[in-house]
Structure 1
Amino acid sequence: MPMLDRFEQHTLKCSSSKKTHERFEILKKVLVGGCVVLCAAAGVPSEMQMRAVFAGFAVLSAVLAYYCHELHKNFVFVDYVHADID
């Protein structure tokens, strides 16, 4: 087991962290699915304003999914490199 394996050492044992980890996984799936649906829906309306709204929400959903993914990493592994510390 790696020395900094936060998932095995803490997340699986702590009920609060385990629930949050599971919720992040669900949230990422919902946001990615929403992005796909909104991208498909952006091509349906004939009005450009509605297309722009759907596309905007699709981009927002994708950005939130990425941000959620980055936060989710904290429950699994955080690399510590001494050279990166100022």
Structure 2
Amino acid sequence: MKKLLTAAMLALFSQASLAHTLWVMPSHFVLSGEDTWISVDLSAANMTFVADKGVSPDNLSLVFPDGSRHKFSQIYQGKRKSQADHQ
């Protein structure tokens, strides 16, 4: 029984270690002015900032300095990476 439990735990943890890491890379970190655009690349990959798998940007939102949340105005989900834009 102990061996079976150990094997099950190893299988469970090894699956988690093989999962892809999600990353989000904005085009800008500091914005000034009223009429500015921000673009965000989004992907899941084994290596950070190397596009591998496109993920759904539907639940992605911007958090403004006042704490309000806004949806991106344009989104695109590709095979290797996704992108979202907001003005």
- TM norm structure 1: 0.31
Q: Structure 1 or 2: larger helix share?
A: 1
Q: Which has the higher contact order (CA 8 A, sep 6+)?
A: 1
